[in-house]
Structure 1
Amino acid sequence: MPLIAHLLELRNRLLKMVLAVLLCFAAIYPFANPLYTLLSDPLTRLLPEGQTMIATDVAAPFFAPLKLALMLALFVAIPYVLYQIWSFIAPGLYRREKKLAFPLLFSSVVLFYLGAAFAYFVVFPLVFGFFTTVGPAGISEMPDMSRYLDFVLKLFFAFGVAFEIPIATILLVLAGITTPEDLSAKRPYVIVFCFIVGMLLTPPDIISQTLLALPMWLLFESGVLCARLIRRRTPDEDVEE
């Protein structure tokens, strides 16, 4: 295809991505307030009786659910967005690259969703349970709804990206940048790196740091294992390709 045709196809696919996000947003926004209530449940159910979240900004009750609806629209539309990206680049890939790229793409979406689910169902109850019990006596817990949303979105993103470690590991091996043996030899440094990342991406407490670092390490080990399995290809397959 000529360059102009490629640019037109890219424009059409970008428009489809934007339209998909807008359609998801239109479907989600009517339920924005109940969804925010559901999102805040891991914290609000731990607050002392009679204490609730507050809005320090007059427009926060409108903009916080609106922001949540937009982020959820992006979250829901990720598979379709990645499908459009795949459809654009797939014609330029070799057969072996297509065989590897699609499973990796599908796995990356699933892992990102699993990371977000792990944050909501495992990390949030433990982190908020810790925060609501360590404060000085006589202090009322009344979190601001906008700051809470920013806080949990950061954790969703951190755990979603952290769960992509197996995909990153496999891609590094397939690109010839490293080998499973080299990665295994660097395991002590990887463990330290996981705890450093956990310290930087999570609140300043040992619980959330550990809850991010340990899954990152286990996901790294699974990525190394998968990379070993992918590299075990027979000579006949190499000749055929």
Structure 2
Amino acid sequence: MADQEVIKHGKNIIRLAGSKEHSVKHKLREIAIEFFTIVFAVTLSIWLHGLSEHHHQQQEAKAFLIGLRTDLKNDIASIDTLIRDHRRFSANFTYLASLDPRQMPTDEKFAKVVAESDANHYFRPFTSRYEGFRSSGKMAYIEDQALLDEIFELYQMALPQIRSSEGGWETRQGKLRAYQDEMLEGDGLADHFKLFTSPKGQRLVKKMIAPEQLFDRYESYRKQATAIVKAIEAAYPELKDQPTPTATKA
């Protein structure tokens, strides 16, 4: 529509310029009016287009943040489970490290700990939505700079720190598994007792006690994720009373 208006007024300028019916002064005044009409039409068109584009961008940002809220609330629940599991794993290895090699336990606790000694649990956050939005270059659509900074800090700093700590724990578990594969003579409780109470077995199980750094990093991620969820809910108050859908990993 704006293009048609520009063409129409452009033709009027050409017609006025070639007209012999009016004085030069009159033609200049009319041409100036047509010229400023064109400028106004183009400016208005650009402004309306920009307004529409901005609205579209904000709708995309809102959809992303609402989805991110779901992802993070599921991550927070996962972190809670991780902390509980790793506390239990650490208690198990603390128990194994305290065994007296001269006397094998006869209670059910030893059997239960042995059964769980090879268990593991790692953080698997919902990152596909974030990665997709970031790789498409749309993160700048989020106009709340403080919120944007918090999101980047969570995924670019807090998450890699967790992966680093978990990677160290996984490496230590791999060494314990290798030692078991090499030295475990059978699958009975007595066989496991002999292995876990050997000098090397004791060194390995002690290293499997998770350092507090791992729990600190889990807590840091949970704290930052919770702050982001609250910021999103503050931006879109209608979310507070809505149930959180269960996210699915891509």
Larger RCO (alpha carbons 8 Å, 6+ apart): 2
The TM-score bracket by the shorter chain reads: under 0.3
| TM-score (ref. length: structure 1) | 0.27
TM-score (normalised: structure 2): 0.27
